[in-house]
Amino acid sequence: MSIGVSYFGNRILRHVAADMEDLAARGFTAVLHTFSENDYAHYREQISELVRVSHAMGLRVQVNPWGLGHMFGGEAESWFTAQHPEVGQVMSDGRRIGAGCPNHPTFRAFVRDWATAAVETGADEVFWDEPHWAHPDRFAPDGRAWACRCEFCQQVYADLVGGELPTESTPEVQRMREASLTDFLGEMVRHVRDLGGRNTVCLLPLTEGPLGLSDWESVAALEGLDVLATDPYWKAFGEPVEPFVSGFSRHVVDLAKRYDLEAQVWIQGFGLGPEDADDIDTAVAAARAAGVDDLWTWGYEACGHMPGLGTRAPERVWQVLCDALTGDGHHGEADSDAVLDGLGTEAVRADLDDLDLRPTADLVWLLAAEHAAATTAVLRCAEPLAEAVDAVAERFGQGGRIVYAGAGTAGRLAVVDAVECPPTFGTDPSRVIALMAGGVDQAVGRAVEGAEDDRLAGERDVEGCGLTATDALVAVSASGRTPYVLGAVAAARRVGALTVGVAGNGSSALGAAVDHAIEVPAGPEPIAGSTRLKAGTAQKAVLNTLSTAVMVRDGKTYGNLMVDVRATNAKLWARARRIVATVAEVDVDRADAALTAADGHAKTAIAALVRGVEPEEARRLLDAASGRLRTVLEG
């Protein structure tokens, strides 16, 4: 099984070598290097070096004619057609354009020369990328003109069909265009084979229209072809992911079996955002289900270095792609030793190998200092945490719920935060709840072994709590890859709920799967083997900060006073009485009386005192102000 990715935009060898090492470490087995006209002119020897270092990392290598003559896929420009305008295709409206004609002998000779150089790089395959006629959207102002009507195409038409090549697109014109492309590819594939190279042809996932090729079988039958590929980029083509990827994957697999070829499919990895995580998983699953063993994505790090390709949060999209393609934790499998060894939360600190021999005072100081370091790490995440607060507060203010999901220590911390919201902020207990692997009733008091590895349980628990698009799911995982938590996130995304992930490692599977990632890499624990220490402190700080800030945004406080507290015991009554007296500027006796009349609700008592109304009217005023005391007092 091959797992590959395209790589472009970097020709500095030491950086390329580091990136190839990164790919191999992530589980990729192959890479495609773009070989544009600019590379052909200025970086030809360097491309060979890129191939060499890729092979040194154990990677299979393809090279492609990126944007060559504007006849192959890619954003690269063509200097050859600019310098040789006579090779350009002629549109049906008579304009000659800067895209090489596959029937022009000079352009064919240029592409053959490029292919010779491609084989000489030492690459395993030459990847003929999306061969196509001129794109109407790029070269035709009205989108209706087609190519090509040059003298060579007219001769091909006359030989194939007979008569003069018309100006309108007809079935006979399409027949000429398809035959020309197939003949062109046949010549190039044979040329590479004769040089001892191998060939991949990647067809656009279209079988009709100005760019489509209806007769894929003629291409599959080409002498010298080794791999038949396609790239069903569902979002780029505006298609539903599963049927689009599945259909073209099956088409390629069927033809590959019939003509003794390898089948290759490319998964879209650009122009996406974290919200597309489920679609990426679906695309990979669809291709695998169709029998594709050679699976690739375009491109490295989700093409984040090329803003024009429109990837949002590329680090997170890249992690989703890596996990989906390599099967590294995103689909709910239990973590392997190798995967865990790579996590910061699992690292062992060599400087503390004598911890058990240290004096108690030193031990206490060290552990306390580690907790302080954890909260410092939280401060470094203030910006994404603030963005998450605003997003959650918006849902909560519209009547939605906050639903926590976690396992083990993370789950218990989530439960604590949820159950403390009603007495602290006067929230309805149903508005902030927690889900926990193994069940809240069972797993809070004692560990339920293996519960965190059950991804389906996470999905079922979210479905069972009736999560909707108005709610926010806050998922917590020290490793950032807990299957139960990832399952909960997947189920939440399916119903359109807001998703927030709190993880103890950067570039986590959880962070890649959610709308808002709060990744707090606090570093290795002082005692390896448990994340309830420093990671737990960081998680508690994040959850406390998030819920408190959301409640402040929702009007649960007045200044820094907890005015929404309900006095349900002696301690809370005394606290509420002090708050009422402070805000309403009355003595404790009047505050006590007002609090009694307001059934122990500090906010209602304050509104009644300041506005000089009965508690019932105070409640009405607060309701009209969406519960915001400042609005009532200053309105």
Does the structure show a pLDDT above 80 at 358? yes
pLDDT digit string, tens, across residues 265-290: 999 999 999 999 989 999 999 999 99
Does the structure show a pLDDT above 50 at 336? no
Binned at pLDDT 50, 70 and 90, residue 577 comes out as very high
Question: Quick one: which of 8, 54, 29 has its CA closest to 326?
Answer: 29
Tokens of 181: 């492309």
Q: Whole-structure pTM over 0.85, yes or no? A: no
pLDDT score at 506: 78
Q: What is the mean pLDDT of the chain?
A: 90
The architecture in CATH of the region 350-553 reads: 3-Layer(aba) Sandwich (3.40)
Residues 6+ apart with CB under 8 A from 406: 412, 413, 414, 434, 435, 436, 437, 475, 476, 477, 482, 485
Residue 468 Cα distances to 281, 411, 472, 618, angstroms: 22, 21, 9, 32
For the ranges 410-414, 457-461, 478-482, 523-527, the lowest mean pLDDT is seen at 523-527
pLDDT score at 176: 97
DSSP 333: P
Rounded distance between C-alpha atoms, residue 415 and residue 438, angstroms: 13
Does the structure show a pLDDT above 60 at 329? no
463 catalytic? Reply is no
* Every domain of the chain and the residues it spans: 350-553, 570-634
pLDDT digit string, tens, across residues 134-176: 987 788 777 678 999 999 999 999 999 999 999 999 999 999 9
- Looking at the DSSP bridge assignments, the partners of residue 279 are none
User: How many other CB atoms are there within 10 angstroms of residue 531's CB atom?
Assistant: 23
Binned at pLDDT 50, 70 and 90, residue 297 comes out as very high
From the number of C-beta atoms within 10 Å of its C-beta (0-12, 13-18, 19+), residue 419 rates as middle
Question: Quick one: which of 463, 459, 453 has its CA closest to 513?
Answer: 459
Active-site residue, selected from the candidate residues 346, 370, 452, 519: 452
125 catalytic? Reply is no
Helices (H) then strands (E): counts for the chain: 26, 15
* 407-435 average pLDDT score: 92
Q: Phi, psi at residue 441, to the nearest 5°? A: -65, -35
pLDDT digit string, tens, across residues 593-635: 999 999 989 989 999 999 999 999 999 999 999 888 999 998 7
pLDDT digit string, tens, across residues 465-497: 999 999 999 999 988 888 899 989 989 988 999
Active-site residue, selected from the candidate residues 333, 420, 463, 617: 420
pLDDT score at 446: 74
Domain covering 570-634 assigned CATH 1.10.8.1080 in the classification: yes
* 528-550 average pLDDT score: 85
Residue 17 Cα distances to 14, 47, 53, 125, 301, angstroms: 5, 12, 6, 20, 15
Rounded distance between C-alpha atoms, residue 126 and residue 122, angstroms: 10
Burial pattern 574-609, b for ≥16 Cβ within 10 A else e, equals ebbbebbbebbebeeebbbebbebbebbbbbbbbbb
Q: Phi, psi at residue 111, to the nearest 5°? A: -65, -35
Does the structure show a pLDDT above 70 at 552? yes
Assess whether the region 350-553 and the region 570-634 belong to the same CATH fold: no
Binned at pLDDT 50, 70 and 90, residue 369 comes out as confident
